[in-house]
Amino acid sequence: MLRSYLLLALRQLRRNRLYSALNIGGLAVGLAVSTYIGLYAWHEFHYDQFHPTADRTYRVLSYARYGDDEMNSTNLHEAFGREANRQLPEVEQLVRYASYPRPTWLQTDADHRTKPNALQFADASFLSVMGFALTSGDPRTALAQPGQIVLTRPVADKLFGPQNPVGKTLIYDKKYPLTVSGVFADLPTNSVIQFDALVSLSSVSTLGDNNRFVWEHAGFLDTYLVLRPGTDPANTAAKLLTINKNLKVDHDNSAKFLLEPLPSLHLDSRQAGSTARQDLYTFIGVALLILVLAMTNYVSLTTARAAQRAREVGVRKAIGGQRRELISQFYIESFLTTTLAFGLALLLLVLLFHWVNTQLDIRMDERVFQQPVYWLLAVCLWLLCALLAGGYPALMLSRFRPQEALKGALSPGTRGVGMRQVLTTGQFAASAGLLLCGLVVYTQMRYLQTKHIGLDRAQVVAITIDADMAPQYMAFRDAVRTWAGAAQVAATNTRLYTSSISTYFLTTKRDKKQLLVNQLTVDEGFFKTLNIGWKLPPVGWGRQPLAHDISVLNEQTLTDAGETVTTLPHPDPFNPNGDAVQGVVANFNLFGLQKSQTPAMLRVVTDSSRAVVADGGYLLVKLDPKLTVPVALGNLKLLYEQAGRASTNAAPFDYYFLDDAYNRLYVKETRLASLVNGFAGLTLLVACLGLLGLITFTVEARTKEIGIRKVLGASVSGIVALLSREFVWIVGVAVLVATPVAWWAMTNWLANFAYHIRIEWWMMGAVAGISVVIALLTVSFQSTRAALVNPVKSLRSE
């Protein structure tokens, strides 16, 4: 019996190749997208669950309120974790882990060096607590002694090639030898702990004066506590208050503490303050939507063919066929169609996996295909799709009465027409809604990238000047100034548009108001190079060089402090007895436009080699727009190397563009734009496949009517308009349904930005126009073919 059902199902597929292809293609797209997002959701929900004691491992978060702001931080002093481990019996193990604030060079020789973005320090206990495996080295001793480093495989390959590097020496920061004690296996991508190399934490104080100062005085360590089974983390957090207050180091006694479970850090960390979980639920919802649309296509196309199969159902019932047998037959057809679609979906998933990851900036590698959950998810989606998509057509088709079917009482194309209209309307509503969302996101991204932010970042390259290059800095700067390709030159101690900008809570003396103030050290050329305007320039600015260092505030600082400045110098609102404020600059954005303007204090120095780059800084060069970027960078590199010859330890030429750094502030939004536009395109594709199938069935059902109308003098355009009218009406209703929902969703999304566009009526009109045009193009393809057929053939067909 099963063999007979399969043969009949294959016969149906061969006889109706176009509709079978539409069904299989639509379901394949839905299954591929939903499987991919299902894998992504599993990947996100299982962050950091591979660690042996993940359920008992917590990261310590400190938080305190200053005025209207809350400061969250995981950067704790070395002594904090040490004392917590010593004084708290419920702490089973302590792990401290930290990143170096700036990327640092590692090298074996002049030809083998690299500058990892994530060079971290870690306790000896790190490798036993965290679930990161080594391919070489002993995890019990790899980080136990000063001077040890464990490399990831990519870094090891860059420095040592294919050979085993364990036991070999490399140079850290051009001066300090480290011994390679291990090599990591490929790191899991679903972990908040990511690194390129780990240096033993006990090495910090041996790696130069700056690192020694950080070790002794600064809070720079993420502290993880593994608690004994049955321990209440809230009680432990309360005990940390006492430990913090008794520390004999510089720290904040007002801070409170929270223990955050390690597996929750990615989606629910208080420090992140992100909408990661909400975004993930949105992606899951969209995946289900696309799968439902694909199944809707199947249902719509199958029920549209109901009249064609009515005679078959009538004959089989008339000769004794049971309804359950007919249901089984239609379910076998559904399973065959979805099985073919499932195979095509898996092929698409494998072929496009890396490309999609790259386009969406998603960190997920092919190891997910080796997880049992992948196959379980794929099979479940396949079965769900087969059961749900095949259920309604099987029940509806098997319900036909044989006498009606054999008499032709079921008019072709009219059975279930209401349901098909509802399903098609739903498909285009989803497409129109996502199109509007995509248009709003795109317009907002264009606004963010083109809005004037108070400074001119175009064609500005920032060249890294490390401490070893500082003695040659003046010679390099002067060489760049005289180079024809440099329009302006300036210096700053801070890597702009990153989290490395120094931030302090300062209290106004007048009303004791606390403000979060960003602080930068710059030279005189900073303002002209970036075209930052003045509200009140320092006395004599531009007419004579500065005689001494001065303090400059932006407008926002004075506004938040409740100060009005009309003359200069003006008393410092935070320290009236200190240096007076010598200038007020117009506001300029130091961060992304998700945030409103923030207070900023700039120390303008006369000797940039001493105050800006002595410990490392950046030379900002405004390039002449007439030069191409490769030529300009080549010349700058040559000037840098010429100046650096006097230093044996000068770092290789390294740079970044301000525009690129600024655009990276919107990585999350760029990924969202790609997702929304991709989903909009997929839903539109699925909807058009369904629409193409429906118009084809409509044309077949009305072949005789079309022939009669042509005989009576109807024009081709009139027939096309007649056949298209119903579908244009469906699309119009779909746009009306989708617009309010999409408007509400995008209004909530735009609220996350301090600066954003307004959703204009033209956007809704554009979406309606695009939807109608695409629907008309899809419908007119088949309707025009039908209108051009000789009416004699049309009448003869029936």
pLDDT tier for residue 415 given thresholds of 50, 70 and 90: very low
DSSP string, 726-743: HHHHHHHHHHHHHHHHHH
C-alpha distances in angstroms, 516 versus 243, 619, 730?
27, 27, 54
**pLDDT of 418:** 62
Q: Of 650, 665, 687, which residue is a domain's last?
A: 650
193 and 284 share one domain: no
Residue 379 falls inside a structural domain: yes
Segment 631-650 shows an average pLDDT of: 86
Kindly state whether residue 589 falls inside one of the protein's structural domains.
yes
> What is the Cα–Cα distance from 692 to 720, expressed in whole angstroms?
14
Question: pLDDT at position 466, please?
Answer: 84
Percent of the chain with pLDDT over 90: 32
- Condensed to tens digits (0 to 9), the pLDDT of residues 577-631 reads 777 888 999 999 998 888 888 899 999 998 877 777 777 889 999 999 888 999 9
> Which pLDDT belongs to residue 59?
95
Kindly state whether residue 614 falls inside one of the protein's structural domains: yes
Which one is predicted more confidently, 272 or 146? 146
431: in domain: no
The count of structural domains within the chain is: 3
C-alpha distances in Å from residue 112, one per residue of 159, 650, 656: 5, 16, 22
User: Per the domain annotation, does 736 fall within a domain?
Assistant: no
pLDDT at res. 2: 60
Do 510 and 608 have their domain in common? yes
d(CA 501, CA 437): 34
Do 322 and 244 belong to one domain?
no
795 inside domain: no
Confidence of residue 792 (pLDDT cuts 50, 70, 90): low
> Of the residues 393, 415, 437, which one is the last residue of a structural domain?
415
Q: Are residues 342 and 489 both part of a single domain?
A: no
Going from the C-alpha of 201 to that of each of 82, 95, 99, 105, 169, the distances in angstroms are 12, 10, 11, 18, 18
pLDDT > 50? residue 476: yes
**Is position 452 within any domain?**
no
**Listed residue (534, 8, 738) closest to 313, CA to CA:** 8
Residue 238 has pLDDT above 50, yes or no: yes
The verdict on 208 and 110 lying in the same domain is yes
Q: Does 725 map to a domain?
A: no
Task: Give the contacts of 256 (CB within 8 A, at least 6 positions apart).
Answer: 62, 63, 64, 237, 241
| Domain extent for 244 | 75-270
Which tens digits make up the pLDDT trace of 690-716? 777 677 777 766 777 777 777 777 777
Do 189 and 113 lie in a common domain?
Answer: yes
Average pLDDT in the 767-772 region? 89
Q: Can you give the three-state secondary structure of 40-59, one letter per residue?
A: HHHHHHCCCCCCCCHHHEEE
- 154 in the same domain as 81: yes
Q: How far apart are CA 31 and CA 341, in angstroms?
A: 8
Considering the domain architecture, whether residues 140 and 214 belong to the same structural domain is answered as: yes
User: Residue 88: its pLDDT value, please?
Assistant: 94
- CB-facing half-sphere around the CA of 476: CA atoms within 13 A: 33
Q: What angle do CA 588, 591, 595 make, to 5 degrees?
A: 95
pTM of the entire predicted model: 0.80
Q: Is a pLDDT exceeding 90 seen at residue 13?
A: no
Q: Please choose, from the candidates 419, 385, 384, the residue with its C-alpha nearest in 3D space to the C-alpha of residue 306.
A: 419
User: Which residue in 26, 59, 81, 221 sits closest to 130, CA to CA?
Assistant: 59
Element (H, E) at 94: strand 91-99
Query: Which range, 68-72, 576-580, 664-668, is most confident?
Result: 664-668
Per-residue model confidence (pLDDT) at position 414: 47
Residue 671: predicted pLDDT: 82
- Alpha-carbon Rg of the chain, whole angstroms? 34
In the predicted structure, residue 306 carries a pLDDT above the cut 60: no
Does one domain contain both 471 and 586?
yes
Q: CB pairs under 8 A, 24+ apart, for 740-748?
A: 741/433, 742/432, 742/433, 742/434, 742/436, 742/437, 742/440, 743/436, 745/433, 745/437, 746/436, 746/437, 746/440, 746/441
Position with higher pLDDT, 108 vs 368: 108
What percent of the chain clears pLDDT 70, i.e. is strictly above it? 86
In a shared domain, residues 389 and 524: no
Burial bucket for residue 304 (CB in 10 Å: 0-12, 13-18, 19+)? buried
Rounded-to-10 torsion of CA 477, 481, 484, 488: 110
Backbone angles phi, psi at 273, to 5 degrees: 55, 30
For residue 203, name the pLDDT band (cuts at 50, 70, 90): very high
| Last-in-domain residue among 243, 270, 297 | 270
Is residue 609 located within the same domain as residue 643? yes
pLDDT at 412: 44
What are the helix (H) ranges across 305-416? Answer: 306-318, 323-360, 372-397, 402-407
Cis-peptide into 393, omega within 30 deg: no
pLDDT value of residue 8: 63
Name the burial class of residue 720, with classes exposed (0-12), middle (13-18) and buried (19+) by CB atoms within 10 angstroms of its CB. Answer: buried
> Tell me, what's the pLDDT at 141?
92
Q: What is the pLDDT of residue 730?
A: 84
The verdict on 630 and 490 lying in the same domain is yes
